[in-house]
Every structure is written in structure tokens, then in C-alpha cells.
Amino acid sequence: MWRYGNPVQVEFGIDSFAKLPDLIGRRRYALVTYGEPFFDDLAGKLEKTAGRPALVVRDVAPNPDYRLLAEQAGRFAALQQQPEVIVALGGGSVIDSAKVFAAAGGDFGKVKTYLESQKGAEQLSQIPIIAVPTTAGTGSEVTCWGTVWDEASGKKYSLARPGLYPSHAVIDPRLMLGKPLLLTISTGLDALSHSLESLWNLNNNPVSANHAVFAARNILDVLPELVRDLGNVELRSRMAMAALFAGLAFSNTKTAIAHSLSYPITLRHRVQHGIACSFSLPMVLRSVQGAGGLCEDSLKQIFGANLAQGADDLEDFMGMLGISCNPASYKIDRQEWRALIEESLEGERGKNFLGSRERLIEASQMLRLPKARTA
């Protein structure tokens, strides 16, 4: 038995940003975005057509942290009337932050209590969100959870509530033009991780698997072309479509072992999320050979019948993008790597992994030199 569901209405296409005023309607809205000229320009265009926002949050951090989120949520509390909708315009950190504000309703303490105790869900607010991603990778525009970091205590939490699915996702590939090389690679690999992680997952199902196969095959095909032609709107469109389908895949399964591994690597070694959650993918792929069922069938649709060769090809693919799959490249020695793998298997996302501990440990010892020079 299986089930699949996703309530987000998707508006996809070049210049679909123009639909945003109609989606907002006459509602009071808050805008959550970045404080950069590109986003200031978009905010100005939106204000001309949708009216002035009740509040603009411009200082979103790459990894939204307790301290900053609490201060930002306080700005909502200072409003005479809470917004009727929140527009999240930016990458994954913007959309995740918007989900925190939607649940907090001006009081971050309610979110903090829920994250740390899983109690007090009835106290959380539920302000609708319109998500407008400007990168192709996060998938947060079609999921009901957001990542929250408590860097002071070295912890990462997932704020997950059904009411946090955005009501709409407006995906305009034109907004992704001009994104720099490393960001394009990192977000693209994040999307690849989402698709593969939804397959070696105890929660996989035929619909999520179909989305994942489409996403992974397109990312493997498009990303190398895109990094050579960052201004190509057609390639940006294909990448945005693949990232969307990856989001639709893991929106029902959540992620698994590679993401569980990534969180302490980001916290301790400051490795960008999209790299931290993807450099271990060839290792995990080697470990799930012979898993059978929907997982293996789907992986073979992506990588071919020989998954051992597929794992080598994936490592070469990463190398061609300048990404090393060797933990030592991120200042992680063998002892720490083994400890991280053991810890990750016990993490919330690690428990979604359908592979075996023994095979994963064995695969972690298989280091090879990819064809392309890695960074």
C-alpha cells in the first residue's frame, strides 16, 4: 500500500512572476527576500502592481538560525495587523524562513518549543505562503517543512507541519538567470540529492519514484550544459523543471542518509549545503546495489543496469563539475567520516534509508580517482 499527495498549486513558466499580484489579490502581504539589488528591483516591481507590503524582511541568512529568526519574527509582532499572506522570494533559506514566520505569527518562542519538544502544535499559526524560488534546487516551494539551525548548540531541526505547504509555487526560470557558477552547481546537486534520496528511502512510492527518475535524468543531462552557458534561459527552464520534480518526489518521502550526513558537515566544516548533501551520493549508490524492488528498478532507469558502473559515472560527473567525493577534501579524516556515518544512520533522516549499515560502511572505504580533476 502507498499514498501520494501534494496540495501546492504550481505556476511554471518564463515571466510567470507577473502572475504574483493576482495571487496576492487584495490581501495584506509580507515579503521575505534578500537585501541585494536584484531582489530590491523585483520587490519594486511587485509593489507597483500589488501595493506596498506590510513588512519586508531582507536580511535572511544562508542557514536560518534561532537568533536571527527570533529577531525577525519579532518584527511581525510589532505590526498592528498580521499579514494575510507571506511572499517568499528567493532561495531555500528565504522559503524556509517564511515557513518559520508563518508558523510563529510573531512569536518565535512557539516555534522553538515545538521544534525542541514536538509539543504545542495547536499554538502555531498558519499564514498562507506564496513561494517564488529564484534557484533551481531547494524544492521547499512544494514541501511542508523548513530547516532551522541552532548554531549555538550545534543542532539542526526540521519544522514540519501540513499547514506549511505553500498555497502556490511560482517558478519563473527568468529569475534564475545570472546566478553564479558555484550556486548553480550547488543547488543543482541539491536537487539531484533530493531525487536520489527519495528512491533509497523506506517511504518511496511509484509516484514519487516516477518524479525522481525524471528529475535525476534531466539534471545529469542539463547541469553540465548549464554550467557552460549560465545565461541560457532554455537550460535554466529545464533545470527548474527537474528541480521541481525532485521537490515533488521528496515532498512525500523526505530525504535520507546523504542529507543526514550533510547537517553536521555544514555545521562543523561550513560546507555549502548542496555540496555537503551530494558528495556522498556515489558512495550511497554503491551501497544499495542489490536492494531490489522499486529502489533498484528506478536507479537502473537513471544509471543503467550496472549500478557499480553507474556509481563511478556519478563520481566522474561530480568531478567534471569540480566537486570532490572524497571526504578528505572537506577536512574530514577517516575516523570522523566513520563516526559521521554511524551517527547519521541514527538521525531522523538516516532512519529513512532502506540500505544496510554494513554495505554503507563497506562502500565508504571504496575510494577511487575520478576521471576529471576535482576541487
How far apart are alpha carbons 371 and 375 in whole angstroms? 13
Q: Is the pTM of this model over 0.85?
A: yes
* pLDDT value, residue 375: 40
Distance (Å) of CA 104 to CA 34, 70, 108, 229: 20, 9, 5, 41
Return the C-alpha cell found at 145: 517543512
Contacts of 240 (CB under 8 A, 6+ apart): 12, 133, 136, 171, 173, 176
For residue 174, count other CB atoms closer than 10 A to its CB. 16
Contacts of 273 (CB under 8 A, 6+ apart): 63, 92, 186, 190, 262, 266
User: Helices (H), strands (E): how many in the chain?
Assistant: 15, 8
CA dihedral 167, 63, 238, 315 (to 10 degrees): -140
Surface-to-core class of residue 210, CB atoms within 10 Å of its CB (0-12 exposed, 13-18 middle, 19+ buried): middle
Phi, psi angles (nearest 5°) of residue 320: -65, -25
pLDDT tens sequence across 152-171? 998 999 999 999 999 999 99
* pLDDT value, residue 370: 63
CATH architecture observed for domain 9-174 = 3-Layer(aba) Sandwich (3.40)
* pLDDT value, residue 369: 58
* pLDDT value, residue 367: 72
Residues forming CATH 1.20.1090.10 domain(s) in the chain: 180-364
Residues forming CATH 3.40.50.1970 domain(s) in the chain: 9-174
Instruction: Evaluate whether 56 touches 30 at the Cβ level (below 8 Å).
Output: yes
**If the chain, 375 residues long, is cut into consecutive pieces of 10 residues, what is the mean pLDDT of each piece?**
96 98 98 97 98 98 94 97 97 98 97 96 96 97 96 92 97 97 98 98 98 98 98 98 98 98 95 97 97 97 97 96 96 95 95 97 81 49
* pLDDT value, residue 52: 97
| CATH superfamily for domain 180-364 | Dehydroquinate synthase-like - alpha domain (1.20.1090.10)
Instruction: Evaluate whether 152 touches 126 at the Cβ level (below 8 Å).
Output: no
Phi, psi angles (nearest 5°) of residue 160: -130, 115
**Nearest in space to 167 (alpha carbons), one of 127, 196, 120, 205:** 127
How far apart are alpha carbons 350 and 344 in whole angstroms? 5
* pLDDT value, residue 336: 96
